[in-house]
Structure 1
Amino acid sequence: MDFEKVILVVTLCLLLASSYRASGTRILSDLEDLALESQLKSINKLPIKSIQTEFGHIVDCIDINKQPSFDHPLLKDHKIQRIPNFLREKPKTRDLSKARPSMIGLAKGACPSGTVPICRTTKEDLLASKLLLNNIHPQATSSLNGSYSAFLQMEDKYYTGIEANITVYNPQVKEGQTYAQVYVQNGVNEDYFNLIATGWMVGPAIYNDGGSHFFAVYTDLNYNWWLSFRNKVVGYYPAELLFNLNKPQGIGWGGVAVGPPNGYIPPMESGSFPDGNPLHSSFTNIKYRNQLNTTLVPQSPHYQLIIDNPKCYDLKYDGYKNEELGFTFQIGGPGGPCPD
């Protein structure tokens, strides 16, 4: 399949909340509707300025000290950190001059100094929030619920950072969602599991369109984790909200495709199986940092490949390619009925 593509450069560093949009057919009771209205009044703060974007969203410029994050009881005494207190090497990026422009962000100076841009939350956003989190890590995927994953994952050591250049495609998704992401995680059960993931996804039921969207999500169950995009710091998840990610023991790069149980599963990444062409690599310049903050790359036998349905998706780790691409792997597949 031929898709337009850009390169998404993302980094998670130890030291991301996103807007979710959905359209559903479930009818809410009066009580549920009132509860959502109450949540919206609490979340959507009085803006200093509002911006109607060309993509149909309303972005509010909120006083940085009054942003809804500080409503969380654990952040009552939190002091905002504006700059990460660590140094890191500048990642290499491909020449993006011919790529489709990014749809992430606002024009420079759109929000006044001392404010932060926050996408105005809707009822649909609240209804969709759980849908994202339930599908974006390997432990959540299962052919029983119509979810399949392909990941390169590392475990059993402490990590302080993960990064990659992710090729952004726009596969056709009629039902379900498809994701390409990097993540950090810790814990092995629901009571102690914690995760941060970021990347791109296509989800018509979440965004009301068939386009590719940047996303970042975390479990709400102690160090700050910073998110950067194209070497620009986006923000961080406060340590107070991440009870066991001070020494995460799992990191990974890969994709998830989710469809209705026993139904059609959407494509992953480009929609094609890996073909060995380095120009088709989905993830390039993949790196991580260990507990000593040393930048490393995945090397055998310290990683594992998680491919739970090779009939529909596959992942091929190519290792080092060249100075521009670094360490790479290809991932993708057409989806379909996906028999076990």
Structure 2
Amino acid sequence: MNARFRTKIIACPSIRIARLDTMKTFFADWALSVLNQVKKRKMDEASMGPIQPNKCPCGGGSQCSVFRAMYVLNQMKKRKVGEAFMGPIQPNNCQCGGNGVEGRGSISLSKEEDLEIERQLKIINKPAVKTIKTEHGQIFSCVDINKQPAFDHPLLVNHTIQMGPGSLPKGIKDKQASLLGLSLEIGFKDGGCPQGTVPIRKITKEDLIWAKSSRNFEKLYPSNAQTPAQPNYRYAMQYTDEGTYYGSRAHLNLWEPKTIRNQYSGSRVVFRDLFPQENSNGIQAGWWVNNALYHDDHAHLTAAWTIDGYGSTGCSDLLCPGFVQVSKVTPLGTIFKRPSVYNGSQYYFPITVYLDPVSKDWWLLYGEDNRKVGYWPKALFNSTLARHSSVVQWGGSVYNDGVEPWPEMGSGQYPHDDQQFQKACYIGRIQLIDVNGNAKDVQSGSLFTVTDAQYCYNVQPNAKVPQSYYAFFFGGPGGSGGICSK
């Protein structure tokens, strides 16, 4: 009976796992054990509650029970706790579809959707002149700069690539010594890709399946404190009054907050218009830990864009055409190698997002000397964001799929107002760029604060910096769903 049941599970047509060796190992080690545990612990239909057909792409019945049992047993093994501490088994925990064994979420694809993803994969993964494998195992393809994925966007077919903004912001103060930590350098050390090519992270079928379901991962931050909290999403931020803004410079303190499957946690600067969410244009850039996308627990350089609040347009990094990569040494998705340490060494990442006064493209720059990563072409946008940003926001955000407790944000510590800057995550040396390209310091008390889960994450504005520039702390430990809904 056990053998027949195990065969049915493996043959389930909705299971699509890219790493077949992992699947085989998993079933070899777990299948009989799980079935025995299901029987022993009486995790049958009666004790698990009714199975919702729309929650189980494998067709419901005993198969769903076994996958739920696998999920619970894995969590119990991971946390080293007993059944009493696990709480009730939720129908949403059914891990039948997608690659639930790998823990990257589940999604059931039709034959047509599967073929479409295969087609997209061929388009995104352009022929490589050179392949670079990093020390962390990331793979980047050096692609002809004029044939990169951005130019598959219908609005960019005839786009003339820009190699840099017409001018750089004036008044950046990075050359002054900072007491907040050390500036991080990122990118390839050996010169990167050959001249005329740019590095594009190798995209897998798993990545595109994740991107299909990641509309839940990306949301534009509310433009004001009155906007209600969004399910599965929490933030702790400061933001400007409504106005016209042409860029920002800031130091993003770098950490590696603890996250698990189907969660992310990061720190970003955001530019958006004031349109309703479903029509809003926005861009954002910074760092995040996203195990589902990058298959690790490190902080990565990330950027995203949308013209409808991430309803059906835009994406993170280069998972869709749009962002134009120009750096041959610093690609989106690259890893930051040295996170900050609690009560120890602190590291930050200088980042600039700037509207080129000539081309009106939005540029992403980094480092002490504003090195170029790439840009969002003006042609992508259909609102006032094509001319300026109406609101600028800085801070942290997290996503949770609703199954697990909420993840850490920032350092995982509540904001602390300490002059050593060694406990909570901060964003410092914040400047706003005006229409003439002048970077001006943000003044204490000029920003608004918003957080939608104050018992889990919070903001400490007006940090006491021993130098004449603005900074604030943010973050927190996360916690259970009930606490983090307040």
Q: Same fold (TM over 0.5)?
A: yes
Structure 1 gaps, min length 5: 1-21
Which residue in the other structure is 2:394 paired with? 253
- Do residues 269 (structure 1) and 351 (structure 2) align? no
Match of 1:135 among 218, 221, 245: 218
Which residue in the other structure is 2:379 paired with? 240
TM superposition shift of 1:167: 0.9
TM superposition shift of 1:270: 0.7
Which residue in the other structure is 1:35 paired with? 116
Relative to structure 2, which stretch is displaced further, 221-230 or 114-123? 221-230
Deviations 1:200-248 (A, max 9, x none): 1112222222221221111156820000111211111111112221121
Which residue in the other structure is 1:161 paired with? 247
TM superposition shift of 1:250: 0.8
Which residue in the other structure is 1:311 paired with? 455
One-letter amino acid matched to 1:253: W
Which residue in the other structure is 1:189 paired with? 276
Taking the aligned partners of 2:404 and 2:129, their CA distance within structure 1 comes to 46
TM-score w.r.t. structure 2 length?
0.60
TM superposition shift of 1:26: 2.6
Indicate the structure with greater helix content. 2
TM-score w.r.t. structure 1 length?
0.83
Alignment CA distance shift 1:112-1:195 (3 Å): same
Which residue in the other structure is 1:46 paired with? 127
Taking the aligned partners of 2:293 and 2:146, their CA distance within structure 1 comes to 29
* Paired residues of 2:427 and 2:471 also in contact (CA < 8 A): yes
Taking the aligned partners of 1:204 and 1:164, their CA distance within structure 2 comes to 25
Provide the secondary structure at the position in 2 that maps to 1:148.
Answer: strand
* Paired residues of 1:135 and 1:256 also in contact (CA < 8 A): no
Taking the aligned partners of 1:278 and 1:127, their CA distance within structure 2 comes to 45
Which residue in the other structure is 2:196 paired with? 114
Provide the secondary structure at the position in 2 that maps to 1:40.
Answer: helix
* Paired residues of 1:133 and 1:217 also in contact (CA < 8 A): no
- Do residues 174 (structure 1) and 281 (structure 2) align? no
Count of aligned positions: 316
Structure 2 gaps, min length 5: 1-102, 309-358
* Paired residues of 2:288 and 2:300 also in contact (CA < 8 A): yes
Provide the secondary structure at the position in 2 that maps to 1:282.
Answer: strand
Deviations 1:237-295 (A, max 9, x none): 11111222112101010011222337511111011111211332511111111334332
* Paired residues of 2:444 and 2:470 also in contact (CA < 8 A): no
Relative to structure 2, which stretch is displaced further, 213-222 or 78-87? 213-222
- Do residues 223 (structure 1) and 365 (structure 2) align? no
Deviations 1:149-202 (A, max 9, x none): 111011311000112111111121124211111110113224531111111111
Which residue in the other structure is 1:19 paired with? none
Relative to structure 2, which stretch is displaced further, 211-220 or 245-254? 211-220
One-letter amino acid matched to 2:246: T
Which residue in the other structure is 1:145 paired with? 231
- Do residues 199 (structure 1) and 286 (structure 2) align? yes
Alignment CA distance shift 1:67-1:183 (3 Å): same
Deviations 1:6-27 (A, max 9, x none): xxxxxxxxxxxxxxxx933334
Indicate the structure with greater strand content. 1
Taking the aligned partners of 1:202 and 1:241, their CA distance within structure 2 comes to 27
Say what the alpha-carbon RMSD is for the aligned residues: 2.7
Taking the aligned partners of 1:67 and 1:49, their CA distance within structure 2 comes to 14
Which residue in the other structure is 1:331 paired with? 474
Taking the aligned partners of 1:33 and 1:207, their CA distance within structure 2 comes to 21
TM superposition shift of 1:301: 5.9
